[in-house]
Amino acid sequence: MKHSRSIIQSVIKDIIKGNRRLYWFTFTKLKYLFLSVNSFFYRKKIKSFKISLLLPSRERSKKFIRLINSINETCLNKQKIEILLLLDEDDIELNEYKKISIDDNYKSLNIRIFIKNLNTHAERNNFLANNSIGDIIFPINDDIVFKSNNWDFQIDKEFSKIDKTPYSLWINCGQKYNYLHCDFPLINREWFKKLGYVGSEFFKFWYLDTWICDLSFRSKKFLITNKIEVFQYSAHSIKDEVDNTHLKNLQNDIPQKDLITWQNTKKYRITDAKKLK
Protein backbone atom coordinates (compact mmCIF):
# COMPACT_ATOMS: atom_id res chain seq x y z
CA MET A 1 0.00 0.00 0.00
CA LYS A 2 1.36 3.41 -0.96
CA HIS A 3 1.67 5.91 1.85
CA SER A 4 0.34 9.39 1.15
CA ARG A 5 3.06 12.01 0.90
CA SER A 6 2.99 15.72 1.48
CA ILE A 7 3.76 18.11 -1.36
CA ILE A 8 7.17 18.82 0.17
CA GLN A 9 7.98 15.11 0.41
CA SER A 10 6.93 14.61 -3.21
CA VAL A 11 9.09 17.52 -4.36
CA ILE A 12 12.10 16.21 -2.42
CA LYS A 13 11.62 12.75 -3.88
CA ASP A 14 11.46 14.16 -7.42
CA ILE A 15 14.61 16.23 -6.83
CA ILE A 16 16.49 13.17 -5.58
CA LYS A 17 15.28 11.12 -8.54
CA GLY A 18 16.24 13.89 -10.98
CA ASN A 19 19.70 14.30 -9.45
CA ARG A 20 20.29 10.55 -9.68
CA ARG A 21 19.33 10.51 -13.34
CA LEU A 22 21.55 13.50 -14.09
CA TYR A 23 24.51 11.98 -12.24
CA TRP A 24 24.41 8.61 -13.99
CA PHE A 25 23.61 10.11 -17.39
CA THR A 26 26.65 12.38 -17.11
CA PHE A 27 28.88 9.70 -15.60
CA THR A 28 28.11 7.06 -18.23
CA LYS A 29 28.43 9.46 -21.18
CA LEU A 30 31.77 10.84 -19.98
CA LYS A 31 33.07 7.38 -19.18
CA TYR A 32 32.20 6.07 -22.63
CA LEU A 33 33.86 9.10 -24.21
CA PHE A 34 36.97 8.73 -22.06
CA LEU A 35 37.43 5.03 -22.76
CA SER A 36 36.79 5.53 -26.49
CA VAL A 37 39.29 8.39 -26.79
CA ASN A 38 41.81 6.53 -24.65
CA SER A 39 41.46 3.45 -26.85
CA PHE A 40 41.94 5.54 -30.00
CA PHE A 41 44.87 7.52 -28.60
CA TYR A 42 46.77 4.42 -27.50
CA ARG A 43 45.71 2.57 -30.65
CA LYS A 44 44.36 -0.38 -28.77
CA LYS A 45 43.80 -3.37 -31.01
CA ILE A 46 40.29 -4.74 -31.29
CA LYS A 47 40.49 -8.16 -29.75
CA SER A 48 38.35 -11.10 -30.77
CA PHE A 49 36.48 -12.55 -27.80
CA LYS A 50 34.74 -15.87 -27.52
CA ILE A 51 31.12 -15.14 -26.52
CA SER A 52 28.95 -17.51 -24.49
CA LEU A 53 25.19 -17.01 -24.74
CA LEU A 54 23.47 -18.49 -21.69
CA LEU A 55 19.94 -19.64 -22.48
CA PRO A 56 17.71 -21.47 -20.02
CA SER A 57 14.45 -22.30 -21.80
CA ARG A 58 11.29 -24.32 -21.30
CA GLU A 59 8.46 -25.23 -23.68
CA ARG A 60 9.42 -22.40 -26.02
CA SER A 61 10.96 -24.13 -29.03
CA LYS A 62 9.19 -21.73 -31.42
CA LYS A 63 10.62 -18.74 -29.61
CA PHE A 64 13.99 -20.46 -29.68
CA ILE A 65 13.75 -20.64 -33.49
CA ARG A 66 12.90 -16.94 -33.65
CA LEU A 67 15.92 -16.14 -31.50
CA ILE A 68 18.48 -18.21 -33.40
CA ASN A 69 17.13 -16.97 -36.72
CA SER A 70 18.00 -13.46 -35.55
CA ILE A 71 21.47 -14.65 -34.49
CA ASN A 72 21.97 -16.26 -37.89
CA GLU A 73 20.99 -13.05 -39.65
CA THR A 74 22.96 -10.55 -37.57
CA CYS A 75 26.06 -12.29 -36.21
CA LEU A 76 29.28 -11.52 -38.11
CA ASN A 77 31.46 -14.41 -36.95
CA LYS A 78 29.43 -17.40 -35.76
CA GLN A 79 32.59 -19.40 -35.07
CA LYS A 80 33.26 -17.38 -31.92
CA ILE A 81 29.72 -17.81 -30.53
CA GLU A 82 28.50 -20.67 -28.38
CA ILE A 83 24.86 -21.04 -27.38
CA LEU A 84 24.45 -22.96 -24.14
CA LEU A 85 20.85 -24.17 -24.00
CA LEU A 86 19.54 -25.59 -20.72
CA LEU A 87 16.32 -27.61 -20.67
CA ASP A 88 14.40 -29.42 -17.94
CA GLU A 89 14.24 -33.18 -18.04
CA ASP A 90 10.44 -33.13 -18.26
CA ASP A 91 10.18 -30.49 -20.99
CA ILE A 92 7.47 -31.68 -23.38
CA GLU A 93 9.24 -29.94 -26.28
CA LEU A 94 12.61 -31.55 -25.63
CA ASN A 95 12.69 -33.37 -28.96
CA GLU A 96 11.71 -30.21 -30.80
CA TYR A 97 14.69 -28.36 -29.37
CA LYS A 98 16.99 -31.22 -30.35
CA LYS A 99 15.66 -31.25 -33.92
CA ILE A 100 16.19 -27.51 -34.22
CA SER A 101 19.75 -27.72 -32.94
CA ILE A 102 20.78 -30.13 -35.72
CA ASP A 103 18.75 -28.50 -38.49
CA ASP A 104 20.85 -27.61 -41.55
CA ASN A 105 19.70 -23.99 -41.26
CA TYR A 106 21.61 -23.69 -38.00
CA LYS A 107 24.63 -25.90 -38.67
CA SER A 108 26.91 -22.85 -38.49
CA LEU A 109 25.83 -22.21 -34.89
CA ASN A 110 27.52 -23.96 -32.00
CA ILE A 111 24.50 -25.03 -29.94
CA ARG A 112 25.30 -27.03 -26.82
CA ILE A 113 22.30 -28.63 -25.08
CA PHE A 114 22.25 -29.43 -21.38
CA ILE A 115 19.36 -31.34 -19.80
CA LYS A 116 19.18 -30.86 -16.06
CA ASN A 117 16.56 -29.95 -13.46
CA LEU A 118 17.50 -26.89 -11.43
CA ASN A 119 15.30 -24.88 -9.11
CA THR A 120 15.92 -21.25 -10.01
CA HIS A 121 16.76 -19.02 -12.95
CA ALA A 122 20.04 -17.98 -11.35
CA GLU A 123 21.06 -21.60 -10.72
CA ARG A 124 20.43 -22.34 -14.38
CA ASN A 125 22.54 -19.42 -15.58
CA ASN A 126 25.32 -20.21 -13.11
CA PHE A 127 25.36 -23.84 -14.24
CA LEU A 128 25.69 -22.75 -17.86
CA ALA A 129 28.38 -20.20 -17.02
CA ASN A 130 30.40 -22.89 -15.28
CA ASN A 131 30.19 -24.97 -18.47
CA SER A 132 31.01 -22.08 -20.80
CA ILE A 133 34.35 -21.28 -22.41
CA GLY A 134 33.70 -17.70 -23.50
CA ASP A 135 35.66 -14.60 -22.53
CA ILE A 136 32.31 -12.80 -22.49
CA ILE A 137 29.26 -14.20 -20.71
CA PHE A 138 25.92 -13.05 -22.07
CA PRO A 139 22.76 -14.21 -20.21
CA ILE A 140 19.83 -13.96 -22.63
CA ASN A 141 16.15 -14.96 -22.81
CA ASP A 142 14.42 -17.07 -25.41
CA ASP A 143 11.95 -14.24 -26.07
CA ILE A 144 14.49 -11.78 -27.49
CA VAL A 145 15.84 -11.15 -30.98
CA PHE A 146 19.05 -9.44 -32.01
CA LYS A 147 18.43 -6.26 -34.02
CA SER A 148 21.94 -4.91 -34.62
CA ASN A 149 24.07 -6.27 -37.42
CA ASN A 150 27.55 -7.41 -36.42
CA TRP A 151 26.70 -7.18 -32.73
CA ASP A 152 29.43 -9.69 -31.90
CA PHE A 153 32.03 -7.36 -33.46
CA GLN A 154 30.60 -4.45 -31.46
CA ILE A 155 31.07 -6.53 -28.30
CA ASP A 156 34.70 -6.98 -29.33
CA LYS A 157 35.12 -3.24 -29.82
CA GLU A 158 33.58 -2.26 -26.50
CA PHE A 159 35.38 -4.84 -24.36
CA SER A 160 38.67 -4.07 -26.13
CA LYS A 161 38.50 -0.60 -24.56
CA ILE A 162 38.64 -2.20 -21.13
CA ASP A 163 41.77 -3.52 -19.43
CA LYS A 164 41.69 -7.01 -17.96
CA THR A 165 39.46 -6.14 -15.04
CA PRO A 166 35.93 -7.18 -14.04
CA TYR A 167 33.43 -5.32 -16.20
CA SER A 168 29.82 -5.30 -17.32
CA LEU A 169 28.53 -4.03 -20.66
CA TRP A 170 25.01 -2.65 -20.89
CA ILE A 171 23.34 -2.83 -24.29
CA ASN A 172 20.26 -1.18 -25.80
CA CYS A 173 17.20 -3.12 -24.64
CA GLY A 174 14.69 -0.35 -25.32
CA GLN A 175 14.84 1.15 -21.84
CA LYS A 176 13.82 4.81 -21.58
CA TYR A 177 16.68 5.50 -19.18
CA ASN A 178 19.29 3.05 -20.43
CA TYR A 179 21.83 4.45 -17.98
CA LEU A 180 19.72 3.30 -15.02
CA HIS A 181 19.01 -0.29 -16.01
CA CYS A 182 19.76 -2.95 -18.60
CA ASP A 183 17.60 -6.04 -19.02
CA PHE A 184 20.45 -8.08 -20.52
CA PRO A 185 23.82 -6.94 -19.18
CA LEU A 186 26.94 -8.82 -20.31
CA ILE A 187 29.85 -9.60 -18.02
CA ASN A 188 33.39 -10.61 -18.81
CA ARG A 189 35.13 -13.71 -17.50
CA GLU A 190 37.01 -11.64 -14.89
CA TRP A 191 33.70 -10.52 -13.35
CA PHE A 192 32.52 -14.12 -13.15
CA LYS A 193 35.79 -15.29 -11.60
CA LYS A 194 35.72 -12.60 -8.92
CA LEU A 195 32.17 -13.41 -7.81
CA GLY A 196 31.87 -17.06 -8.75
CA TYR A 197 28.40 -16.52 -10.16
CA VAL A 198 26.39 -14.74 -12.84
CA GLY A 199 23.16 -14.32 -10.87
CA SER A 200 22.55 -14.37 -7.15
CA GLU A 201 20.83 -17.59 -6.06
CA PHE A 202 18.83 -15.83 -3.35
CA PHE A 203 16.00 -15.42 -5.85
CA LYS A 204 13.43 -17.78 -7.27
CA PHE A 205 13.33 -16.26 -10.76
CA TRP A 206 13.61 -12.48 -11.01
CA TYR A 207 16.37 -9.91 -10.37
CA LEU A 208 19.33 -11.51 -12.17
CA ASP A 209 19.72 -8.42 -14.37
CA THR A 210 18.91 -6.01 -11.53
CA TRP A 211 21.56 -7.59 -9.33
CA ILE A 212 24.24 -7.18 -12.02
CA CYS A 213 23.16 -3.58 -12.60
CA ASP A 214 23.30 -2.77 -8.89
CA LEU A 215 26.82 -4.20 -8.60
CA SER A 216 27.72 -2.15 -11.67
CA PHE A 217 26.57 1.05 -9.98
CA ARG A 218 28.35 0.27 -6.74
CA SER A 219 31.65 -0.73 -8.37
CA LYS A 220 31.35 1.67 -11.33
CA LYS A 221 32.73 -1.15 -13.46
CA PHE A 222 30.32 -0.87 -16.37
CA LEU A 223 30.05 0.65 -19.81
CA ILE A 224 26.94 1.53 -21.80
CA THR A 225 26.63 1.16 -25.56
CA ASN A 226 23.75 1.79 -27.96
CA LYS A 227 25.52 -0.06 -30.77
CA ILE A 228 24.12 -3.42 -29.68
CA GLU A 229 20.35 -3.61 -29.71
CA VAL A 230 17.98 -6.43 -28.81
CA PHE A 231 14.21 -6.49 -28.74
CA GLN A 232 12.26 -8.49 -26.19
CA TYR A 233 8.85 -9.91 -27.04
CA SER A 234 7.86 -9.52 -23.42
CA ALA A 235 4.75 -11.28 -22.15
CA HIS A 236 4.30 -8.35 -19.77
CA SER A 237 3.43 -6.07 -22.67
CA ILE A 238 2.55 -8.38 -25.59
CA LYS A 239 -0.54 -10.49 -24.96
CA ASP A 240 0.27 -13.10 -27.61
CA GLU A 241 3.57 -13.87 -25.88
CA VAL A 242 1.93 -15.14 -22.69
CA ASP A 243 2.60 -18.87 -22.29
CA ASN A 244 2.82 -21.56 -19.62
CA THR A 245 6.43 -20.76 -18.82
CA HIS A 246 5.62 -17.10 -18.19
CA LEU A 247 2.63 -17.99 -16.03
CA LYS A 248 4.70 -20.48 -14.04
CA ASN A 249 7.14 -17.70 -13.14
CA LEU A 250 4.28 -15.60 -11.79
CA GLN A 251 2.63 -18.24 -9.62
CA ASN A 252 2.91 -18.62 -5.83
CA ASP A 253 3.69 -14.90 -5.44
CA ILE A 254 7.19 -15.43 -6.87
CA PRO A 255 7.60 -11.77 -8.00
CA GLN A 256 6.54 -10.44 -4.58
CA LYS A 257 8.74 -12.90 -2.70
CA ASP A 258 11.71 -12.00 -4.87
CA LEU A 259 11.05 -8.30 -4.24
CA ILE A 260 11.20 -8.90 -0.49
CA THR A 261 14.42 -10.85 -0.97
CA TRP A 262 15.86 -7.96 -2.97
CA GLN A 263 15.06 -5.52 -0.20
CA ASN A 264 16.74 -7.76 2.37
CA THR A 265 19.99 -8.47 0.49
CA LYS A 266 21.57 -5.04 0.15
CA LYS A 267 24.49 -5.95 2.42
CA TYR A 268 25.45 -8.82 0.10
CA ARG A 269 25.46 -6.53 -2.92
CA ILE A 270 27.70 -4.06 -1.09
CA THR A 271 30.11 -6.85 -0.19
CA ASP A 272 30.21 -8.34 -3.68
CA ALA A 273 30.60 -4.96 -5.39
CA LYS A 274 33.82 -4.45 -3.41
CA LYS A 275 35.18 -7.68 -4.90
CA LEU A 276 34.92 -6.12 -8.36
CA LYS A 277 37.00 -3.04 -7.59
Q: Domain residues of the chain, as ranges? A: 44-275
Question: How many Å apart are CA 167 and CA 11, to the nearest integer?
Answer: 35
Q: Which residues pair with 170 in a beta bridge?
A: 224
**Considering the domain 44-275, what is its CATH architecture?**
Alpha-Beta Complex (3.90)
Q: Find out whether 84 and 131 touch, Cβ atoms under 8 Å.
A: yes
Computed over every residue of the chain, the mean pLDDT equals: 96
pTM recorded for the entire structure: 0.95
Question: How many Å apart are CA 86 and CA 142, to the nearest integer?
Answer: 11
Q: Find out whether 68 and 83 touch, Cβ atoms under 8 Å.
A: yes
Q: For 221-264, what is each residue's pLDDT tens digit?
A: 999 999 999 999 999 999 999 999 999 999 999 999 999 999 99
2 pLDDT above the threshold of 50: no
Question: How many Å apart are CA 142 and CA 57, to the nearest integer?
Answer: 6
Q: Find out whether 31 and 223 touch, Cβ atoms under 8 Å.
A: yes
From residue 138, give the alpha-carbon distance in Å to each of 92, 112, 260.
26, 15, 26
5 pLDDT above the threshold of 80: no
User: Region 74-97: what's the mean pLDDT?
Assistant: 98
Residue 249, burial from CB neighbour count under 10 angstroms (0-12, 13-18, 19+): middle
Predicted confidence at residue 12, as pLDDT, reads: 85
C-alpha torsion angle, residues 11, 12, 13, 16 (rounded to 10): 120
Q: Find out whether 161 and 207 touch, Cβ atoms under 8 Å.
A: no
Phi and psi at 252, nearest 5°, equal 55, 30
Sign of CA dihedral 229, 212, 261, 2: negative
Residue 8 — very low, low, confident or very high, per pLDDT cuts 50/70/90? confident
35 pLDDT above the threshold of 70: yes
Residue 3 — very low, low, confident or very high, per pLDDT cuts 50/70/90? low
Residue 171, burial from CB neighbour count under 10 angstroms (0-12, 13-18, 19+): buried
Residue 7 — very low, low, confident or very high, per pLDDT cuts 50/70/90? confident
